[in-house]
Amino acid sequence: MKADVAVIGAGAIGAQAAVQLVERGLDVILIEPGTAGADHAASYGNAAWLSSHSVVPPATPGIWKQLPGWLADPLGPLAVRPTYLPRSASWLWRYLASASTEAKVSAIARDLRALLIDAPHLHAEVAERAGLSHLIDATSGLMHVWPDRAAFQSDAFGWRIRREVGIEWRELDGAEIAVLQPELSRDYRFGIYVSEGGHCRNPGAYVAGLVDYAERRGVRRLRARALGFTQIRGRLTGVETSEGTVACAAAVIAAGARSRPLAALAGDRVPLETERGYHVTVEGDGLPGPAIPVMVGDRKVIVTSLAQGVRCAGQVEIGGLQAAPDWRRAEILRKHLAELVPALDTAGAQIWMGHRPSTPDGRPIIGPASGVEGVIHAFGHGHVGLVGSARTGRLVAELVTDEMPEIDIGGFSPARFSRRANAA
Ligand SMILES: Cc1cc2nc3c(=O)[nH]c(=O)nc-3n(C[C@H](O)[C@H](O)[C@H](O)COP(=O)(O)OP(=O)(O)OC[C@H]3O[C@@H](n4cnc5c(N)ncnc54)[C@H](O)[C@@H]3O)c2cc1C
């Protein structure tokens, strides 16, 4: 097997990269052991937000004070499994350190803003070319709600950072929320509406549809697991897979939460952890649900009406790739959903757990690998992998074809985790 480029992984990131590469006329092989868009991947079960305002990293100054609570409450919205603490300690340390000052968080927000700006429209453009316009709503806007303005104060820091990077929004009182969200519990009397946001109507179908479109344009699928790289004098010659070697001069690592060993083989030891997340989805047509996707501040969940039903997603569990899901977490989400949308019968909700591919500072890793020329990293998008996939795909294609990247990708370099960078 031979191609110009091998893309490893067919989640949202790999799918967008494959589309952009084949549209530039390159011969592409997409290596993926599973079915594109299926439930093994994070891209299937997310909250479907195309939130170009999601620029504040998960860790913010003072968050270290919450560490004891993460360990003490195994079912809290953010929890660390005590048995996994030894393996995740260094990632957690970097997570806390990345947010030790407001200046650090502001710098991360600027980088994420550059990656995410205009994302709903970028998705709409790709979706139109792929015949998937019915799956992208670039103009729905996105809403955040709290019980009252006092409750909002605990999240005010993040909104100040958002304002710094030019994000605008409209505040809502209880009466306005009730008009815009007739199905939402009346317990929410303060809100924010971000008009620049959009959402996807079915993330799994979107990824499957993008891969289908890429195949129609000439991308070949290889149902295999990538295992490593072949090289001559530091220059990539191929990708080794469970089904043989793909000869290629460029390769893209887009294997989501499973990218770390491949990145190490390409010369970059990166702190990549899984932030395990859950969803419940009540499937059906015409169900009561939010008219605008909504993030509920005090419960730390997102509720989105999708093509296939109503989904409530959230939770962060640091517990590794191997441990079985803790379905009590899905039950917590189901209860939230039942309380937030009282008219919805949540009894038969589908449950799911997936792996956010997360770096400690909330920025993905995008850029050339340092050990093997021709390998490009495109993973680690954490909470913003769906929204960030459209521009990431473009950046990957620009890097492979030696074009100037459309944004400064310095902040996404794996080098930020090197010992030298940390010493500085
Ligand atoms: C509960 C939850 C809610 C979320 N909500 C949102 C949201 O609203 N908006 C948003 O933007 N993001 C959200 N996210 C994050 C988003 O889903 C992820 O960041 C994104 O899906 C990551 O995409 P990916 O392509 O990197 O990884 P994945 O979708 O996990 O895909 C990786 C693919 O690589 C394949 N693979 C793995 N190893 C190999 C190998 N060795 N060889 C070949 N293939 C391999 C896998 O089989 C998989 O198909 C959420 C995540 C969760 C869990």
Q: How many CA atoms lie within 13 A of 297 on its CB side?
A: 22
Please state the atom number of ligand 1 nearest to the C-alpha of residue 354. Answer: 53
pLDDT for the residue numbered 73: 79
In 167-309, alpha helices (H): 174-180, 203-216, 260-265
Place of tokens 């011969």: 27
Q: Is 313 in the pocket of ligand 1 (CB under 6 A)?
A: yes
Would you say residue 338 has pLDDT above 80?
yes
Give the chain's mean pLDDT: 96
Please state the atom number of ligand 1 nearest to the C-alpha of residue 278. Answer: 1
145 vs 193: CA distance, rounded Å? 9
Give the DSSP H or E segment for 282: strand 273-283
pLDDT for the residue numbered 423: 59
Residues of 281-295 as b/e, b for ≥16 C-beta within 10 angstroms? bbeeeebebbebbbb
Distance from Cα 411 to the centre of ligand 1, integer Å:
21
How far CA 63 is from CA of 60, 67, 68, 157, 416, in Å, comes to 6, 7, 11, 12, 21
Would you say residue 422 has pLDDT above 80?
no
Predicted TM-score (pTM) of the model is 0.97
Place of tokens 């970059």: 268
Write the class of the CATH domain 56-200+272-358. alpha beta
Place of tokens 């969200």: 181
Distance from Cα 71 to the centre of ligand 1, integer Å:
26
Give the DSSP H or E segment for 318: strand 309-318
CATH architecture of 5-46+205-271+362-423: 3-Layer(bba) Sandwich (3.50)
Would you say residue 254 has pLDDT above 90?
yes
Q: Is 37 in the pocket of ligand 1 (CB under 6 A)?
A: no
Would you say residue 332 has pLDDT above 90?
yes
pLDDT for the residue numbered 421: 65
Distance from Cα 385 to the centre of ligand 1, integer Å:
7
Q: Is 8 in the pocket of ligand 1 (CB under 6 A)?
A: yes
Give tens-digit pLDDT for 41-87.
Answer: 999 999 999 999 999 998 888 888 887 877 777 788 888 888 999 99
Q: Is 99 in the pocket of ligand 1 (CB under 6 A)?
A: no
How far CA 234 is from CA of 179, 241, 401, in Å, comes to 61, 19, 19
pLDDT for the residue numbered 78: 86
Annotated domain spans of the chain:
5-46+205-271+362-423, 56-200+272-358
